[in-house]
C-alpha cells in the first residue's frame, strides 16, 4: 500500500503550492491575459496536454532513495527547486532588473523546470505498474513539455515587449 502512496507525485506538490501561492505576485507579462494572448491554439492544446502528462505521470513512479542514482536525483531535484524558486523571486521582487527584463530572465521560470523533472526521473526509476524505462519516458515527455512551455514563454515575452 505504501508504494502507491509514496510516489513521485509528492515531488511535484511544491511546484503546485508555489505557483498557486505566488502567481498573483508575478509582474506584467505573467498574468493569464498576457501569457495567453496571441498564443496559437495548437500551442495551447499541446502545452496543456503535455503539462497534464508531466505532472500526473509521477503518480506511477515509486518514490525511493535507495540507489546512488536516486540519491543524486534528490540532490539535482532540490538544487533545481531552489533555482526555480529563485527565478520566481527575481521576477517578483526585482522585476525591473536587467535580468528580469531580459529574455533569458523572463523565461527562467519555464526552462528551469527541466532540471526538476530530471531529478524526479532519477528518483523515480521504478514504476508502480510495469512500465519499462519509466525514467526515460518521463524525461522525454518532460523535454517536450519544457520545450513547448519555453517557446510559449518566448512568445509571451515578444508580445509583452511589443506592447511596452
pLDDT digits (tens, 9 = 90+) for 146-160: 999 999 999 989 888
Q: DSSP of 101-140, one letter per residue?
A: HSHHHHHHHHHTHHHHHHHHHHH--SBSS--TTHHHHHHH
Distance CA 145, CA 151 (A): 10
What residues pair up with 7 in beta bridges, in sequence order? Answer: 62
* pLDDT score at 23: 86
Q: Which residue has the cell 498574468?
A: 31
What is residue 109's DSSP assignment?
H
* pLDDT score at 130: 86
Contact 69, 125 (CB under 8 A): yes
* pLDDT score at 3: 63
* pLDDT score at 160: 82
* pLDDT score at 4: 66
* pLDDT score at 27: 84
Number of domain units in the chain: 1
Residues in the chain predicted with pLDDT less than 50, given as ranges, are none
* pLDDT score at 51: 97
Domain range spanning residue 94?
2-162
* pLDDT score at 162: 78
- CA dihedral sign of residues 74, 80, 83, 88: negative
Amino acid at each position: 500500500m505504501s508504494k502507491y502512496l509514496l510516489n513521485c507525485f509528492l515531488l511535484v506538490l511544491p511546484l503546485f503550492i508555489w505557483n498557486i501561492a505566488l502567481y498573483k505576485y508575478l509582474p506584467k507579462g505573467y498574468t493569464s491575459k498576457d501569457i495567453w494572448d496571441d498564443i496559437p491554439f495548437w500551442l495551447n492544446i499541446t502545452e496543456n496536454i503535455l503539462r497534464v502528462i508531466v505532472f500526473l505521470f509521477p503518480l506511477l513512479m515509486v518514490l525511493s532513495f535507495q540507489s546512488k542514482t536516486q540519491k543524486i536525483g534528490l540532490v539535482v531535484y532540490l538544487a533545481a527547486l531552489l533555482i526555480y524558486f529563485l527565478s520566481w523571486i527575481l521576477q517578483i521582487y526585482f522585476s525591473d532588473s536587467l535580468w528580469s527584463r531580459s529574455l533569458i530572465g523572463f523565461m527562467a521560470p519555464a526552462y528551469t523546470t527541466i532540471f526538476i523533472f530530471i531529478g524526479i526521473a532519477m528518483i523515480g526509476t521504478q514504476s508502480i505498474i510495469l512500465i519499462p524505462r519509466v525514467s526515460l519516458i518521463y524525461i522525454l515527455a518532460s523535454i517536450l513539455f519544457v520545450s513547448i512551455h519555453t517557446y510559449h514563454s518566448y512568445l509571451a515575452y515578444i508580445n509583452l515587449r511589443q506592447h511596452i
